[in-house]
Amino acid sequence: MARLTVAADEERLSDTAADRVTTLLQQTTSSRGAALVSLTGGSTPRRLYARLADASAAWRPRIQWPQLHVFWGDERHVPPDHPESNYRMAKEALLDHVPIPREQVHRMRGELADAQDAAAEYEQTLADAFRSAGREDRAFDVMLLGVGEDGHIASIFPGSELLSDDTVGHPLLSRRVAAVWASHLNTWRITLTPAATLDAHAILVLVSGARKADAVKNAIEGPLDVNQ
Ligand code: 6PG
């Protein structure tokens, strides 16, 4: 069941998202022990991550941080200390400030020369982590996503082969992670596939800014055909 919440500004958006994420994590860790969370990259979630990490705010003490296992929905083809790295952004805003065991932080290795290798490695990382957590369904407990002006989520861009009906029966269809060439950005990206994204038990999409209005409107009111 989808729920649309409109916040007055970015501050309230982040507070609302912090409340929702905290409640989801509390419910998950109390009912399932571990919580497997996929973080989004981009700039929008930085404020949310800082909210969750803030020791003076209400959210951080409510979350059972040592029970969290952290993953990413996508990563740029850059080293982990690169300004464009989604891992670096989350590390600076959140992970450096909360007690999640390092071995429970599973980043995509964007530094590998071949993005395909990074995707294949992360496919195995996910399989190992979900098996260790005793999860047969390979579904993240909480999936955070942003939205691009063109409507993309993670690094699944309009027209992506990941969205093509041609993938039916294609090896990609069974994949949870893929390397995609983002021609408009002239770079490779590593991303969860649509299946791995949509399998999540709870998905929270965080969007702000007038530039995203058309993408959001189209997502809510537009045709279900992802290619339109
Ligand atoms: C990324 C993200 C991407 C992002 C959107 C929105 O690696 O950039 O995963 O999907 O969420 O592009 O980005 P902003 O929050 O910066 O607008």
pLDDT at residue number 223: 81
Distance 40 CA to ligand 1 centre (A): 7
Does residue 154 line the site of ligand 1, with CB under 6 A?
yes
CA-189 nearest atom, ligand 1: 7
Interatomic CA distance for residues 38 and 142, integer angstroms: 6
Percent of the chain's residues with pLDDT above 90: 89
Q: What average pLDDT does this structure show over 173-190?
A: 94
Query: Residue 228: pLDDT band by 50, 70, 90 thresholds?
Result: low
Angle at 28 between CA 23 and CA 34, to 5 degrees: 130
- Checking if the pLDDT of 167 tops 60, the result is no
pTM of the model: 0.95
* Token digits of residue 141: 């407990």
Q: In the sheet that 203-206 helps form, which strands lie side by side, from edge to edge?
A: 68-72, 35-39, 142-146, 203-206
pLDDT in tens, 104-128: 999 999 999 999 999 999 999 999 9
Distance 74 CA to ligand 1 centre (A): 9
Do the bridges between strand 187-192 and strand 74-76 make them parallel or antiparallel, or are there none, so unpaired? antiparallel
**Which residues, at least 6 apart from 219, have a Cβ–Cβ distance to it below 8 Å?**
147, 151
Three-state DSSP at 198 gives helix
pLDDT at residue number 5: 94
pLDDT in tens, 34-51: 999 999 999 999 999 999
- Checking if the pLDDT of 95 tops 60, the result is yes
Pocket test for ligand 1, best of 76, 152, 206 (most atoms within 8 A of CB): 152
What mean pLDDT is reported for the chain?
94
Query: Residue 102: pLDDT band by 50, 70, 90 thresholds?
Result: very high
pLDDT at residue number 125: 98
